[in-house]
Structure 1
Amino acid sequence: MTERPLNGVRVLDAVSGPMAAIARHFAELGADVVRVEPTGGGEDRREGLMAGGVSLDFVAANLGKRTAPVEQLAALAVETDILIAPLGSTDVVALRAANPALVVLSVSDFGDTDGYRDWVGSGPVYHALSGELSRSGIPGREPLPPPGYLALTCAAVQAAYVALLAYYNALKTGHGDHLDFSTLDGASQALDPGYGIAGSATAGVPASQLPRGRAEARHQYPIIPCKDGFVRLCVLAARQWRGMFEWMGRPEAFADPSYDLLQTRFASPTLIPAITRFFADKTRYELEEAGQRFGVPTAAVLDLDEALQSEQMIARKAFVPVEIAAGVLAPLPDGVLEIDGVRMGIDGPAPEVPSGPIAWAPRSKPARPEAGGDRPLSGLRVLDFGVIVVGAEGGRLLADQGADVIKVENAAFPDGSRQNRTGGLISPTFATGHRNKRSLALNVRDPEGKALLLKLIETTDVLLSNFKGGTLESLGLDYASLKAVNPRIIVTDSSAFGPTGPWSKRLGYGPLVRASAGLTMQWRYPGEPDSFSDAITVYPDHVAGRIGVIGVLALMIRRLQTGKGGSVSVSQAEVMLSHMAPRIAADALERSGHVVTEDPAQSAVYPCHGDDEWCVVTIRDQADMQAVATVTGGVPLAEWLAGQAPREAAAVLQTAGVPAGAMLRVSELPGFDYYEARHYFREVTHPHMKRAFKVETTPIVSERLPDPPERPAPLMGEHSAKILREDLRLSDAEIERLIAANVLEQFKMPEETAA
């Protein structure tokens, strides 16, 4: 088995509950993770989904860790690399004085934020305050909370990313950091950020411009009934529509060339009904197979059990049985990253309660990264082949931290996220997702273009991609080929279903992955089988991008010791299924005859005073019920909230210790005082956009991580000549010849725009 890249890294974990999953990500990558807790164990061992006296939530969040008594925290912290602890629970100043290179991640629901330090969160409350809830549901209906644990699991990934970034910076500078991590921030950034890059179906229209109620988006990735259930389609590019047209037998009603345009198809009142009639007598399997044959991305809408029993998940061995109690086995995800082709999976069971003091294992620390620049990743070169959301996000995260990220593209195969119906040369969503990058428009299928790329590879640190399986190999850009050119290179691929298995070469988009992984089937109003409500959501793209970057950072740390690079693979479907781990384990145990006790916490969305105004309230226990009764004076909560403004009502409930949050629209986020207090957004401009727009600032409130720079996202080929001239020392004459031969493209301003 390949050596896990974080072998030798020490992580001390003092948090409990869902955020314990932060350190589990490090354990899977080989770090020595020690959980400190009181004698008898933490309360989270007895909370959440329970089976056989065991908390399934606890098990899923703590696999692969060791335990020590909480009294040992200070002694262990002296030789720790990363400490993850609840905000205010430790003397951070004293700990860092004893260990100046220590990275402390202080975790809380709402951060060390004036007016919000004492607020209490829950998954549905985070959905409300992040803008996610306002986009979930059917137009004209009440907002529908997303199913499961999405806000919390995505937040844990964001925390792992920033902690590992700060650790790499500490290796580089010799100085640790104190990170103020808010779970709301993490959920807002990593699930479906309202001011992040959006899917290609939006054609660049930002979420801040959505209508007041739930937006109608079901036509973008339509779900069509068929003989034995439902399938979901993704017909965005013109070539995909032409495949759909051929598949339907070239119907005359849709033969007009204008149907090549997305807006024509979306506006058609007859197209979806025609497809529905065409699909009515066909099974999901038949439609999936035909969709692949005609080049039309198609996915069966599966329930969770069907997803787990699919040929792909079985072939990939994505879940493995884990003994959670004596003789009791439950399926749990075997990691979400592959390094050098080997799954970084479960490396031990959930820990027993501490039995006495422990010691750190001996280790040799990594060498110090080369200094240079004022940002953690200054000096790194990244070639970014990523497209649409997950592709954009990985490169953007690296570029924001100082890496020189070169977006490699060309007009023959344009990035779908460049689609733009906002006017101008570039859209706000593209400008957000590709800020701080340069663009090289190069035909890598041409022998000369390929040769130029390989010259760049010689001095490249990371290559990013998110094509379907086999694409990098067909281009000769897979890790096995590139390490012969540059043994230090790190190559990443993020695909819908992973690089192996019978579905590895399927075309995949987030909505299709959600359908195949059983999430779309759960995202419905209770008792309404066809009320699918995830159409406008962009998930798991942003979180999968962060998981890929965690893999890159881990390999960069390993490279400091070995001098060699490696490969990172991410399956977006497996990321999604891992986020449902406790539910999957509970369902399997129930089927095998075990009694499962549900989490007693109950959340609901209540209408408030005003037009489409809503408030989420979570009742965890009897104490919350009593607090609500005191606030409302004995009036039923629904009746009381109906006469209240949601923000004021949430504040009153939070003062009483009850988790609550007003539903915010994306356009309302920058004006919410919580985000203002944390300097979460800033306004920027782009030279080819008429209006300023909002972007997120730093990924974490930190002492040492600077805000991202403000270099504008590139137009296609904007830096082609400059890169070849300065990095490869080509002459102007050579560059002009390559442009004339269609090997290279250099952006030229359209005359009407230039004027």
Structure 2
Amino acid sequence: MSNTTENKQQTTKLLSGIRVIDLCDLRGQSCGRLLADLGADVILVEPIDGMRSRHRAPVYNGTSLHFEIHNANKKSIKLNFSDPVDLDKFKQLIQSCDLVIDGRNPAEYNIIGMSAEDIRQLREDLIVLSLTDFGLTGPYKDFIGSEAVHLAMGAVLSRSGVNGSDPILPPGELASETAAIQACWVALLAYWQKLHNGQGDLLDFSINDAVAQIFDPGVGATGSAAAGRTAIETAINGRPIVKMIPGKLPSVALLYPIFKCADGHIRICLLNPRQWQGMSEWLGDNHPFRHPKYETNINRIMKVDKINKLLAEFFSDKPREQLVIEGQKRGIPIAALSLPAEVFDEVHFQERSLYTDYVIGSDNGLAPSGYCRVDQQRIGIKQPAPKLGQDNEQVLSQIPSKQAAPQQESTSHLPLRKPLAGITVLDLGIIVAGGDLGRLFADQGANVIKVENHKYADGLRQSLDGNPVPISFAQANRNKRSLGLNLRSNKGKALFKELVKTADIVISNFKPGTMESLGLGFDILQEVNPGIICAESSAMGSFGPKAKTMGYGPLVRASSGLSGLWRYPGNDIVCGDSITIFPDHFAARISAVAIMAKLIERQQTGVGGFVDVSQAETIINALATELLNESLNPGSLKPKGGNEPHNAPNGLFPCDGDDEWVAISVTNDTQWQALCRAMKKPELANDPHFLTSEQRLLCASEITHIVSEWTRTRSPYEIMRLCQREQVPAGNMLRLTEFLGNPHFQARKFFNTLHQPTAGRPLETENGPVGFSQNLPQPIIKPAPVLAEHTREVAKELLQLDDGAISALVASGDLELAKKQQSPLKQKMKTKGVTFAMNVILKYHAFKNAFNRDTIKS
């Protein structure tokens, strides 16, 4: 493998000195890979014949590209676990490490002959992260998962695709990557906790929990287009509507259309009056939608078919680049729909050193190098994946003894320490990616101060009913305090710098350059406090030719190639990502992991640093295996619809009922035999055409038809039970209407309760990032703040100001106090009134449209 010059010179090792034993094979390998990227010494411990993932598709000239991507920067040793000598070496190795990532399901414990709990007992202060499909507890604990199964059972699949069509699978292994990064966040939290209390841990981590919590969370924050509503309220039972249908509620998907142009496709997001004004002026004086009423989303949605027809004609003969340049000049969020090969050629990504050369045999491929940049360096691939056992001599010849953490005085009678207690975060984050990042730290006990003001309020504070703390905002900003501060006044900036002096972290996700224009860029803040860690998240990253691209999720997905892959095969216009908010929650975890690594490094150096996360790059890295394959096999990366491309049967199958589906994944011959038993079709198990994975893939269409005939007469839950009983990965397509009552999530305490005064009722909210832990307490959930609710409190506590000084700063406009709010009863009545008015408007338009033949047909 040959790296870019930057990667060759890279010396940043944030986690230097931390040793990790990696027992992950078919699940979770990205967790160890990211820790290795960050500088940890990650040792892949393999059985004598090597891990099964060394043969996992896609395979190029005998080399698993999946294994290469997921194990770069690691070491490899091989051990014969049936040999007492090698088993003793394994135990010695455990004594030398800080963390064990155990990716085995309990049924696979016999590989080593030790359970995760057995390994945990080998060292008192050892951290063991048990990373299983469904966790070590709960009714589904013995289930086997897969990419498709986790998407189905994580309530993602029911919203993927278009209303009236089959659900479709997102490209790549986005669910698995999402979970692995969450696991990395949990591992570093546990390590940080051990640094402060000396205690080890057994972490019961479920991939399915993580997918449900991060990918498109049912009870997490939603985007600003949802107008404060939750995912359950905006996508109740099905996939989004991309055309206005009489009698149906309008969908936010209508706001993100894709249009064909002269040389490809573009996507636009017209979300506010100013953006529609720009589009209207671009269309010229003669179109029928110039009336100011069309600046309101609801009025445009009611005419969406006619407006989109007009836009389609306008864009059809113009090249993409011209449209993007002109649209951005007019303040219109617009992006080209990139093809897989085009993301390699994008100059912006090249200038940010996103890719690295990766040699496979005698051929040279190109791979996304790593998820983020820290201190102006790409944190990514430095060494290729190891050959089997290549580090046996180096690692086993002299196993260093790990100094046990100092024994702490017993605190078993006291509540567990909050992991991030004592850490102060100045939170300038907005909408989902920014809001969720601060919330992750607040949940773990950090003192998170949301710095905001009324003139430039967080977009998530917008709602249909004027609620000052909409439900979506509450989900992203629970456990925080709000400081009303004017960062555009000289005194306000001076006050912010005073806050920075005693803070640990500053997070923001404004358009790049905003903090610098305020005189609060990282260089300035580091002069104020050399230990400050600044983390900036944006659509395309903090620098590069396209750094100031408008940061809307649908545009990020378009420019990274995700939208073009997440679509129905053969249909260039209809994509399946219309209501997803991926990668917002995912990108927040990437930022959180990088910040935690900097905090750990700062313990030794006392120096802070700068974390730069591009949401587009998080997507591209999550598709790294597929993109490496595309670079070696041009044209191989295509939309997969409802079936995974490397195995059969592996995908989505129709069940009895209206739009009911089940995911079934057969990835080896043993599972095929088991599926035949579940279907009670022994003749298929002996059919010579279906005996091997290669033969089944050649007969994929025939097998899909056979399995579909079996599934379509049964419910998804029956199919799931029949398959899982035979250890075949299978899962029902969970809808949001079933989400809160899911027995497995309930048993694993997935949900907590948020008592938000402005909501009028207790809110279901997600719990902590790991199901069960000995040393990480579940978060105590406190309500999200009204804007500037804690100004006096924070000013006294952190700025040491008295009431007189605070009042003077409020009078001068440098500080702000919360505005007087309506009583909960009045607010509730207002909410009901708005809802009633919305329903009246919708019913009126539905009635009117019923007489419009064209609308009915569409």
**What TM-score, normalized to structure 1?**
0.95
Instruction: Tell me the distance in 2 between the aligned counterparts of 1:743 and 1:322.
Output: 53
Q: Does 1:6 align with 2:5?
A: no
Summarize the alignment of residues 577-726 of structure 1 with structure 2, pairs less than 5 Å apart.
577-591=620-634, 599-634=646-681, 636-700=706-770, 701-726=772-797
Q: Give the equivalent residue in structure 1 for 2:225.
A: 201
1:384-463 superposed matches below 5 A: 384-421=427-464, 424-463=467-506
CA drift of 1:743 comes to: 2.3
Q: Residue in 2 aligned with 1:375?
A: 418
- Matches of 1:242 and 1:752 in 2, distance apart? 36
What number of residue pairs does the alignment pair up?
A: 750
Which of 236, 240, 258 pairs up with 1:215? Answer: 240
Q: Structure 1, residues 355-374: CA drift from partner, whole Å, max 9, x if none?
A: 534146799999999x9982
**By how many angstroms is 1:500 displaced?**
2.0
What's the offset of the Cα at 1:559?
0.6
**Cα distance between partner residues in 1 of 2:677 and 2:380:** 48
SS of equivalent to 1:12 = strand
Tell me which moved more, 628-637 or 724-733. 628-637
2:117–2:202 contact (8 Å) kept in structure 1:
no
Offset at 1:423? 6.2
Q: Measure, in 2, the Cα distance between the counterparts of 1:20 and 1:49.
A: 16
| Partner amino acid, structure 2, of 1:466 | N
CA distance in 1, matches of 2:356, 2:27: 21
Q: Distance in 2 between matches of 1:470 and 1:109?
A: 42
Q: 1:369-410: CA deviations, max 9, x gaps?
A: 9x9982000111101111111101110100000001111112
> Match of 1:306, as an amino acid?
E
Distance 1:724 1:677, change over 3 A: same
In the alignment, does 2:208 pair up with 1:179? no
The alignment status of 1:161 with 2:210, answered yes or no, reads no
Paired with 2:733 and 2:316, the residues of 1 have a C-alpha distance of 38
Contact 2:95 2:401 in 1 (8 A): no
Aligned residues of 1:380 and 1:404 also touching (Cα < 8 A): yes
Distance 1:287 1:739 in 2: 45
Matching residue within 353, 369, 372 for 2:388: 353
**CA contact under 8 A between 1:14 and 1:35: conserved in structure 2?**
yes
Residues 28, 64 of structure 1: 8 Å contact kept: yes
Query: CA contact under 8 A between 2:237 and 2:737: conserved in structure 1?
Result: no
Q: Is the 8 A contact 1:628 1:637 kept in 2?
A: no
Alignment of 1:277-316 (within 5 A): 277-316=313-352
**Which of 323, 326, 332 is the matching residue for 2:359?**
323
When residues 212 and 751 of structure 1 are mapped into structure 2, their CA distance, relative to the original with a 3 A threshold, is closer
**2:380 maps to amino acid:** G
Matched, 1:486 2:529: yes
Contact 1:368/1:560, CA 8 A, preserved across alignment: no
Distance in 1 separating the partners of 2:417 and 2:613: 30
Q: CA–CA distance in 2 between the matches of 1:66 and 1:538?
A: 36
2-structure distance, mates of 1:373, 1:446:
42
Residue in 2 aligned with 1:45? 54
Q: Aligned Cα RMSD in Å?
A: 2.5
Higher Cα Rg: structure 1 or 2? 2
TM-fit CA distance, 1:729: 2.3
In 2: Cα distance, 1:53 partner to 1:283 partner = 41
Q: What's the CA shift for 1:751?
A: 4.3
Distance 1:250 1:162 in 2: 56
Moved more, 103-112 or 253-262: 253-262
Q: 1:368 to 1:195 in 2, by over 3 A?
A: farther
Pair 1:297–1:47, CA change in 2 (3 A): same
Q: Distance in 1 between matches of 2:402 and 2:614?
A: 31
Give matches, 1:18-97, under 5 Å. Answer: 18-70=27-79, 71=86, 72-85=89-102, 86-88=104-106, 89=109, 90-93=114-117, 95-97=119-121
Give the corresponding residue for 2:697: none
Distance change >3 Å, CA 252–CA 328, structure 1 → 2:
closer
1:491 counterpart SS class: strand
> Alpha carbons of 1:268 and 1:446: their partners in 2 closer, same or farther (altered >3 Å)?
farther
Instruction: Tell whether the 8 Å contact from 1:366 to 1:558 is kept in structure 2 after alignment.
Output: no
Distance 1:468 1:362, change over 3 A: farther
Determine if contact 2:340/2:630 at 8 Å carries over to the other structure: no
Distance 1:484 1:682 in 2: 41
* TM-score in terms of structure 2 length: 0.84
Task: Give percent identity, aligned residues only.
Answer: 39
Question: Unpaired segments of 5 or more residues in structure 1?
Answer: none
Instruction: String of CA shifts for 1:72-111, please: whole Å, max 9, x gaps.
Output: 3211111211101124433545544442221101121111
Quote how far apart the aligned CAs of 1:631 are.
2.1
Residue 113 (structure 1) shift: 2.2
How far residue 272 of structure 1 moved from its aligned partner, in angstroms, is 2.8
Deviation at 1:165, TM superposition (A): 0.8
Name the stretch that deviates more: 243-252 or 278-287. Answer: 243-252
Distance 2:375 2:366 in 1: 25
Distance 1:365 1:487 in 2: 31
In the TM superposition, residue 446 of structure 1 has moved relative to its aligned partner by: 0.8
Answer yes or no: is 1:551 the counterpart of 2:594.
Answer: yes
Task: Check 1:749–1:139 CA distance in 2 against 1; reply closer, same or farther (3 A cut).
Answer: same
> Which digits, 9 at most, give the CA deviation of each residue in 1:307-347, with x for residues without a partner?
2211212222211112233x332212211121111111212
Give the Cα–Cα distance (whole angstroms) in 2 for the partners of residues 262 and 722 of structure 1. Answer: 38
Runs of at least 5 residues in structure 2 that lack an aligned partner in the other structure: 1-9, 80-85, 242-251, 637-643, 685-705, 827-858
Q: Verify the 8 A CA contact 1:406 1:437 in the aligned structure 2.
A: yes
Q: Counterparts of 2:379 and 2:732 in 1: how far apart (Å)?
A: 39
Kept in 2, the 8 Å contact 1:2–1:340? The answer is no
Please say if residues 511 and 551 of structure 2, whose CA atoms lie closer than 8 Å, have aligned partners that are also in contact.
yes
Contact kept, 8 Å, 1:232 with 1:512, in 2: the verdict is: yes
Instruction: Give the Å deviation of 1:411.
Output: 2.1
Instruction: Output the amino acid matched with 1:649.
Output: I
User: More displaced, 309-318 or 549-558?
Assistant: 309-318
Structure 2 vs 1, CA of residues 656 and 439 (structure 1 numbering), >3 Å: closer, same or farther? Answer: same
Q: Is the 8 A contact 1:601 1:621 kept in 2?
A: no
Contact in 2 for aligned 1:385/1:464 (Cα 8 Å): yes
SS at match of 1:175: coil
Contact 1:204–1:422, Cα closer than 8 Å, also in 2: no
Output one character per residue of 1:437-460: Cα deviation in whole Å (capped at 9) or x when no partner. 111121101111111111111111
**1:581 and 1:451 mapped to 2: Cα distance?**
43
CA gap of 1:709–1:617, structure 2 versus 1, over 3 A, is same
- Alpha-carbon spacing, 1:412–1:258, altered in 2? closer, same or farther (3 Å): farther
For the pair 1:240 / 2:311, whether they are aligned, the reply is: no
Matched, 1:741 2:812: yes
